Each structure stands twice: as structure tokens, then as C-alpha cells.
Amino acid sequence: MRLIAAVAEWFDHRLGLAAPIRDAAEHPVPRNTASWFYVFGSAALTIFLLQLATGILLAMVYVPSADEAWSSLQALNHQVAFGWFIRALHGWGSNFMVAVVLLHMVQVFLFGAYKFPRELTWIVGVFLLLTTLGMAFTGQIMRFDQDAYWGLGIGASIASRVPVAGPMIVSMMLGGPIIAGATLSRFFTLHVFVVPGTLIVLVCLHVLMVLKLGINEWPMPGRLVRRATYEREYHALTKSDGAPFVPYAIWKDMFFAAFIILAAAGCAWYFGPFGPTGQPDPTIIQTAPKPDYFFLWMYALLSLLPPSLETPALLIGPVVAIVALLLLPFLSGEGEKSWKRRPIAVLTVLLIAITLGTFTHLAGYAPWSPHMSAWSGDPVPDQMLKGTTALERQGALVFQGKQCRNCHALGESGGERGPSLDSVAVRLTEDQLIRQVIQGGGNMPAYGKNLSPAETTALVAFLKTLHPAAQAPARDASRDVVAGQSLRSTQRDKVAARDGGAEP
Amino acid sequence: MSNEILLTRRGLFMKLGVLLNGLVGVALAVPFVRYLFASATRASQALPWVQLGGVNQFPEGETRLATFRNPIVMPTDGKTADTACWVRRIDGEQFQVFAVNCAHLGCPVRWFPQAGLFMCPCHGGAYYRDGSRASGPPERGLFEYPFKVENGVLRIQAGELPTPGTSAPSSANAAPGTPATFFKGPAAALTAATKGHRPPCA
């Protein structure tokens, strides 16, 4: 024991770190901040350390070359002992890190912790969020598979829309004229050196400010922040009702950090590593790339925005969002901290959460994407063919053969890009069906060039049968008037025609 | 004699030291920046012509997938330098060669000969057989490679990833941003197929 003390003393005589470390550990915090709401920041830092450790382990095997990255991932998954687990832990750690950072941000926002004098802590935090997302995006590319390859193409397409500088940004991003070796090396540099380096510096600044300015006290409704008096009040609070951070508050941080790491490890063990999916071979085009979950909302947004709004939204939206986050502590740097008296803050969080959640949910089943194999994979439901004529059945064949099913569902299977056609005959008359099929419109391609008159006749005959049994199909009333016929006689003609009577 | 010393010996040396380091910094910055921006500042020379194969590999009136090795490669590119494109042989030596990349965000479009449409799996963009926009989020038609036929061999001018911001709209397609109308698509398709003879009721 005495030996350990002697060695410690030898080091501290030269380093002089013991006193500042003790001061930092034992700095007084308001007693009510020893709360389970105050554990997200330290948990984010712990996961980041996990990411550093697993990242270094992965880099020992991973080969950042477009030619070999994919096979080195396969080796990690199948050849190297526990390679699959380290990959899985790094991937799940990334998901957990994004989630915990977002939770931390919401907590800080709702507890008013960004207000005076912690504005700069918030601003550094905004950059920490951006670097965390940057790590997530560049990390997705390290998993150099089909999704990564086409994801880069999407990134390049977005970047190319920047006015004037677009093409230059694209070649900077790709490191050459196409997505290839130089692109992967570039993103490897970002993922392994540039972004984590920035992240480490920012984390140090962030933690330093938390120590220097003190942790945000538990917000009390009605206790307003004023620049002139706040620091004195906070000081008085930590004097009268303070306790040393270690061990009074830290045990909750430690418990939660351990729980989060365990949760990530549990997911990694149970679900295994992410991909890699198919080889990054651009000649294999049978692929439907999708981003990782934290960018799914963007994937949905890009499908649902009107084309004319897309470029402005893509280029201006993020800038506006980041500027708004950076300006927040200056726009409301004083005043009420408690979320109980900040309804707009609470509603903003709810609105953003619901919006992102809805978009993410939509992106999960992507109703805007054609189902590429529905035409050959999903049969026409039996009951839709019961009692139909030969012409109508021929129409059903045309419907499948011309890939209508890729965008239109019948009996709940098929694409969702266009409306379901289960009761289309109620909505459109025969003439409208013909016009829609031939000319398209309302986001449907025109099929005039691809259907012979016979095929069109058969297809429309089939579509006319698609109505609920108790509901009559739509008909054009003006036609009867023009033809001077009553509905009854028209129907009689039809029955006669169906029975094979050759009535002129 | 004034007691004010404007510049001490030490002060002069420190300023010289700052100046010296500044000069070294500027001198090094030139190669550093040139290196960093190498991919963006390379001379804008014409793209090379790549061979796609004999004309007879492509039946008239059909659209087939062709692949080629990107002419600008690095030794470590591996399979990523292999590129696919859609070749439509209208008739004789009349071709259209489309990039597989959707004009929306670059996902690979697939050709459905029965429907006569290219469909994109990502956000549902669709194009007619002549590459013009049919529906969905793309603001323009498919990207086209310039082609030529020499001694019965089809060649295209390629080498760069086509993106909405870097590629000019192709001849068969309307200008970007043109709103789609009911008639644009089939009219464009008809125009291409009948080589300029517009049907009376387009």
C-alpha cells in the first residue's frame, strides 16, 4: 500500500494533476441534479469511448480500398475470432450514440440548460451533434457495399445541386470523376482522422465548460434566469444545497452508462453486424438502396416533396435548421427554464419528434417505390376473376404483364405508388379509364405507346369489373342523353352482348 | 536622446521568426492545396470514347444493359470502375445510350420492356423508352451518353458520374424543370420513334 502511495506521489510530483482532478471530481453540484435526467451526456461520452475502442480494433483488419474493403468485411464477419461481434458492437454503438445524443439534446433544451451562461456549451453541443451525424454517415460508407455505393451516388446528386460550386463539390467529395477507390479513401480519412479528431477536441471543450460553469440546476417554474444575478444565485445554491459530484451524483451516470453499453452489446450479440449487403459492383443494378435509420426520414422527405421544392429544401433546409439551433441561446438566453412554463418549447420538441417519427415509419415500407416484382409475383386475387368474361380475363393478363401491378395494388398486394384499384370502376367511367391508361397523368406514365387497341380494350374491360358487389360502377350520364337512351336499355344491351347475342 | 525603444533586438528576432514561419507556411500551402483540390481542378479535357461492343449485340427496337470499364481508373478501384448503361437501338445506327443513374438522386433504374418504362427503386421515378421523364420526382429525363458507331462498333463518351448538377439535359429530353403534362411523355416517345413525324393528334 505504501509502495503504491509512493509511486503515485512520484508521478504527481512531476505531473501535478492530482489536485485539479480532485477539484473537478468533487466540485459541488446542486443536490437535485443528481437525477436520472442528467445522465445522457456522460452516457454519450461513454459510447463514444466504446466507438473509439471498437473502431481501432476494426481498423486492424479493415482494408480501406474499393477493391478489397468488401472482402475484408467478409473476413471480419467470418474469419477473425469475434470479428463479427466487434463489427456489430461498432454498428450498434453508432445507433445508440446518435439516439443518446438526441436524448441529451432534448433534455438540455427542455431544462433550459442552454441559457446564460451556458450558450457556448450549447453551441459546441450543436457541432457535436453534427460531427456525430457525420460519423454516422461516413461510417455507413466504410461498410462498403451496394447501399454504401449508391448512398454515395445520392450524396453526390444532392451536392451537385448546389448552384455554381456543385460540380466542384462533387469531385471533391468523390476524389475523382466516379465513385471509386479515391472516394472510399477520402471517406476513410474523414471517418478515422478528421471527424473523430474534431469530435475529441469538441468533447473536451464541452466537458471543460460543464466543469467551469457548473451543471444546470434543476429548473424551478418561476425562477427566472437574469444575466446580472444568475451566477451569484447559482453559486449560493451550490453552497447552500450542494454536494460533491463524486460520489453524490456520479453513481447514476455510471449505472446508466453501464446499462447503455450493455444494451448495445446485447443488440450486437443478438442481432449481429450490419451487412455488408451485396458487393459494391455498379453493374449489379438489382438493388434498392436505403439509408441507415437516422437518415430514413430524409429518404422519405425526398420522395414526398414536390420536385420544385426539393432542391431549395435540400440546400436551404439544413442551413436554416443549424442556424436556428446556433441562434437559440441568443434568442432566449434569459428567463424561464422550466419546461412546465414553456409550452412552445415542449410543442416544438413534440412536433419535430412526431414529424421525424412519421417520416421514418413511412420510409420503413416506402409506399412511393414501385414493387419491382409485383407484376410477376403477386397473383390477381381469385374472387376478382370469378364469373368474368374471356375479354376481362385477358385484361387481367394485360394488367399483370404490363407491370401495372408494380404501382397499383389489387386485394392489398402490389405497389402503393398509385392508388389501389380494388374499386376503381366506382371512381372512373369507361372513357375516363381509357384516357387515364393511354395518356397517364396525375403522376402516372402514359401507356398509349405500349398498348395495342385490343390490349387497351381488354384492360379497361377488366378494370370496369373492379367495384364492390353492392356498388354500381361509375357511368357517364351525359352519354345516355346524347345517345337518347335510358340507362335500362343500355344495361339490356350489355346483358345481351354478354350472352352472346349479336345486337347491332 | 529618447529613452523610447521602438524595436528591441529580441522583438525584431521574434517578428522575423513569425515572418519566416509565415513564408514557410505559404510555400507549403501551395502543394497542400493543389493536392487537396486535385480532383476538382483537373483540366477539363474531353472525356474519352469507350467501346460498348459490336452493334449486332443490340437488337433493333430493344433496350439492353451494357457494361464498360470506366476509362479513368486508379489501380485500387476494383469493381467500382465497372459501369452499367442502358443501350436502346432504335434502328440501324440510331442509338440512345442512357446512364443507369436516375436523374433524381442517382439510384439505378431498371428497364421493363413490357411496360416500356424505366423504373427507379428509390423514390419511384419513371421514364419512357426514349429516356424522357414519365412520372415521379425526377425533374428531367435520363442522362444520355454521346455515342458513335465506327466499323460496326458502338462507342460512347463516358468517364464521369452523371449527376443532376453536372450533366446537361440530353437532346431527347425537355429542359429541366419543365412541368410534365399529359401529352409530353407520349408525344416525346412518338416523336423519337417516328423520327420527327409528329402524329396529327399528339
- pLDDT above 90: residue A144: yes
* A403 Cα distance to chain centroid: 30
pLDDT digits 0-9 by tens, B168-183:
555 444 333 333 333 3
| Residue B32 banded pLDDT, cuts 50, 70, 90 | very high
- pLDDT above 60: residue A477: yes
CB pair distance less than 8 Å for A449 and B186: yes
Q: Choosing among B50, B100, B105, B129, which should be mutated to test the A contact, i.e. which has the most A CBs within 10 A?
A: B105
A284 and A385 both lie in a single domain: no
Which pLDDT score is estimated for A52? 97
CB pair distance less than 8 Å for A178 and B80: yes
In a domain, residue A89? The reply is yes
For residue A181, the chain B residues in CB contact (below 8 A) are 74-78, 80
The three-state (H, E, C) secondary structure of A384-421, written as one string: HCCCCCHHHHHHHHHHHHCCHHHCCCECCECCCCCCCC
Lowest mean pLDDT among A158-162, A209-213, A221-225, A480-484: A480-484
In a domain, residue A204? The reply is yes
- pLDDT above 60: residue B184: no
- pLDDT above 50: residue A479: yes
Which pLDDT score is estimated for A334? 92
Q: Choosing among A141, A160, A456, which should be mutated to test the B contact, i.e. which has the most B CBs within 10 A?
A: A160
Which pLDDT score is estimated for A291? 85
From chain B residues 47-106, the ones with a CB under 8 A of any chain A CB are: 65, 67, 70, 72-84, 100-101, 104-106
- pLDDT above 50: residue B198: no
A278 and A387 both lie in a single domain: no
For residue B87, the chain A residues in CB contact (below 8 A) are none
- pLDDT above 50: residue B200: no
CB pair distance less than 8 Å for A282 and B177: no
A275 and A390 both lie in a single domain: no
Q: What are the φ and ψ backbone dihedral angles of B162, each rounded to 5 degrees?
A: -75, 130
For residue A174, the chain B residues in CB contact (below 8 A) are 39, 161
pLDDT digits 0-9 by tens, A270-313:
999 998 999 999 999 888 888 888 888 988 888 888 888 888 88
Instruction: Kindly report the length of chain B.
Output: 202
Nearest CB to A283 within list B67, B109, B161 = B67
pLDDT digits 0-9 by tens, A42-100:
999 999 999 999 999 999 999 999 999 999 999 999 999 999 999 999 999 999 999 99
Which pLDDT score is estimated for A80? 95
Nearest CB to B39 within list A175, A282, A302 = A175
CB pair distance less than 8 Å for B161 and A177: yes
| Residue A382 banded pLDDT, cuts 50, 70, 90 | confident
The percentage of residues in chain A with a pLDDT greater than 70, rounded to a whole number, is 96
Nearest CB to B80 within list A179, A440, A445 = A179
Which pLDDT score is estimated for A377? 87
Distance from the B8 Cα atom to the nearest Cα atom in chain A, whole angstroms: 36
The percentage of residues in chain A with a pLDDT greater than 90, rounded to a whole number, is 68
- pLDDT above 80: residue B185: no
ipTM of this predicted complex? 0.83
Q: How far apart are CA A283 and CA B66, in angstroms?
A: 9
pLDDT digits 0-9 by tens, A408-465:
999 888 888 888 998 899 999 988 999 999 998 888 988 888 889 999 999 999 999 9
> Span A324-351, mean pLDDT?
95
Q: Choosing among B82, B112, B123, which should be mutated to test the A contact, i.e. which has the most A CBs within 10 A?
A: B123
Instruction: Provide the number of CB pairs (under 8 Å) joining chain A to chain B.
Output: 219
Which pLDDT score is estimated for A376? 87
- Residue A21 maps to which CATH number? 1.20.810.10
In a domain, residue A454? The reply is yes
Q: Please give the grid coordinates belonging to residue A296.
A: 430514413
Q: Is B149 on the interface with A (CB under 8 A)?
A: no
| Residue A501 banded pLDDT, cuts 50, 70, 90 | very low
Q: How far apart are CA A111 and CA A253, in angstroms?
A: 18
Mean pLDDT, all residues of chain B: 81
Q: How far apart are CA A75 and CA B79, in angstroms?
A: 18
* A503 Cα distance to chain centroid: 61
CB pair distance less than 8 Å for A174 and B115: no
- Beta strand pairing call for B153-157 and B147-150: antiparallel
Q: How far apart are CA A75 and CA A63, in angstroms?
A: 11
- Residue A447 maps to which CATH number? 1.10.760.10
Instruction: Name residues whose C-beta falls within 8 Å of residue A396's C-beta, 6 or more positions apart in sequence.
Output: A380, A384, A385, A388, A462
Output the CA angle A302-A306-A311, nearest 5 degrees.
Answer: 60
Q: Please answer whether residues B100 and B85 qualify as being in contact, where contact means their C-beta atoms are separated by less than 8 angstroms.
A: yes
Highest average pLDDT, of A122-126, A375-379, B113-117, comes from A122-126
Distance from the A466 Cα atom to the nearest Cα atom in chain B, whole angstroms: 21
In a domain, residue A496? The reply is no
For residue A368, the chain B residues in CB contact (below 8 A) are 123-124, 136
A159 and A270 both lie in a single domain: yes
Range of the domain at A252: 2-216+248-289
A14 and A144 both lie in a single domain: yes
Q: Is B128 on the interface with A (CB under 8 A)?
A: yes
Which pLDDT score is estimated for B44? 65
For residue B84, the chain A residues in CB contact (below 8 A) are 282-283, 285
Mean pLDDT, all residues of chain A: 91
- pLDDT above 70: residue B195: no
CB pair distance less than 8 Å for A153 and B137: no
CB pair distance less than 8 Å for A67 and B67: no
With CA atoms as reference, the chain A residue closest to B66 would be: A283
Which pLDDT score is estimated for B189? 37
From chain B residues 13-32, the ones with a CB under 8 A of any chain A CB are: none
- pLDDT above 80: residue B95: yes
Q: How far apart are CA B112 and CA B89, in angstroms?
A: 15
With CA atoms as reference, the chain A residue closest to B160 would be: A177
Say if residue A177 is preceded by a cis peptide, omega within 30 of 0. Answer: no
pLDDT digits 0-9 by tens, A217-265:
999 999 999 999 999 999 999 999 999 998 899 999 999 999 999 999 9
- pLDDT above 90: residue B31: yes
Nearest CB to B182 within list A149, A289, A440 = A440
- pLDDT above 50: residue A318: yes
The percentage of residues in chain B with a pLDDT greater than 90, rounded to a whole number, is 55
For residue B174, the chain A residues in CB contact (below 8 A) are none
What's the number of domains chain A is made of? 2
pLDDT digits 0-9 by tens, B69-79:
999 888 889 99
Q: Is B176 on the interface with A (CB under 8 A)?
A: no
* Residue, of A198 and A382, whose pLDDT is higher: A198
With CA atoms as reference, the chain A residue closest to B37 would be: A172
pLDDT digits 0-9 by tens, B138-179:
889 999 999 999 999 999 999 889 988 776 555 444 333 333
Q: How far apart are CA A387 and CA A369, in angstroms?
A: 33
With CA atoms as reference, the chain B residue closest to A171 would be: B40
Q: Is A106 helix (H, G, I), strand (E, B) or coil?
A: helix
In a domain, residue A273? The reply is yes
> Span B83-101, mean pLDDT?
93
Q: Please answer whether residues A296 and A360 qualify as being in contact, where contact means their C-beta atoms are separated by less than 8 angstroms.
A: yes
In a domain, residue A200? The reply is yes
In a domain, residue A482? The reply is no
